[in-house]
Structure 1
Amino acid sequence: MTPPASRPLIVPSVLPADFANLGEACRQLEKAGADRIQWDIMDGRFVPNLTFGPDTVASCRPLVELPFEAHLMVDDPDRLLPRWVDAGCATIIVHAEAATHLHRTLQTVRGLGVRAGVAINPATPLSLVEHVIDLVDLLLIMTVNPGFGGQAYLASQERKIAAARGLLDAAAPERNIELEVDGGITTETIDGAAQAGARTFCAGSALFRAPRGLESAVAELRRRAEEAIR
């Protein structure tokens, strides 16, 4: 498994893309310089929205070389874990709130030979994942409530991001566990998240709706993040 990089990573979500042209969206994101692609997997139960199944993800896998990550916003993440691996996802992120036995779920993900990530919602305390840090390669702090794209960034979560940075640095500094933020990331909000300690930034609407195109938008987000952490 490839260790996470310390430089800022831009991870586009394909949620705002044209669902009839997801393959082309992936190609354009790769051309634009994205670091990997996030698939927001929603089941209509854990969140009030329904998105992609593993067959959809698998159909796009041969089209690009970028790594895929599956962000499972689903009630029962364990049920289809092998399917997401078979679909070509190199990272699988589960929600702490949705896993009945979080430790076991993360063990299962790692046992499938991919990177394990855990996500927590805005109202969820960091303490919920404190005792599984030894099993994660990535910690995702939600900066919106999951379910829909285009929501406003919750700056209140920057205290949690900073606390997460401290937790990861103290618990396993040698592992360089990735700290990702997801929700409302734009050129106006990425500074605060970066200064708080995030180094991976999932963005959707800010990229696909950028008037100057994806390549310019990815470059500008990366530039703003780099400036914020100097």
Structure 2
Amino acid sequence: MADKPTPSRRLQNPAIFVCDLQEKFRNAIWQFDKIVLTSQKVLRAAKILNLPLYVTTQNGSKLGPIVPEIQELVGDAVVTADKTRFSMMIPEIEPHFPHVLSSTSVAGTQKPPREVVIVGIESHICITQTAMDLRARGHKVYVLADAVSSCNPQEIPLAFDRLRAEGVTVTTSESWLYELMGDARIAEFRDIAKLVKETGQDTKTALGALMSSKI
């Protein structure tokens, strides 16, 4: 019997956006510590899978740096930039995510869309505007419901409704991780499965705290 072909990941061109997870927001954002827990899991998975990270702060001179829990995990980001624009699609990041229909590779073929997952704050402002800008450029966007939040929890389900209408996939961190892999035979599967098991209680905590207002 011929050997099975080497499996490939289901998502071929992924990237992770980490939006404005800053210390000054800790006491203002609903369930902030829970979205940090989920973001830590996502970023640990990024290390295992060697996924590119794009990180922003919002007006860092006034609102401070990224929270200490994830600073080491984002240390090798492709871009780390401060912004005043609400969308993460700022000049430092935009060149990495060109318009799909108008961009070509060196060989003259159309570049594939990126598959961008977004974690951070706020759901109805920076997350929404970033997702819509990426969609306008033809990219696939995932917003993780257990890794985003807002000051007012009532804003979140309304933001999700709008995002879905714009073609954004609203899902959970675990669902996205397994969709990213797509096959239990990929080389990193065991390490990701171990991570999911190790963070299982954190995942339950985050889902239990966040999902009541997001359904």
TM-score (norm 2): 0.36
Larger RCO, structure (CA 8 Å, separation 6 or more): 2
TM-score (norm 1): 0.34
Structure label with greater radius of gyration:
2
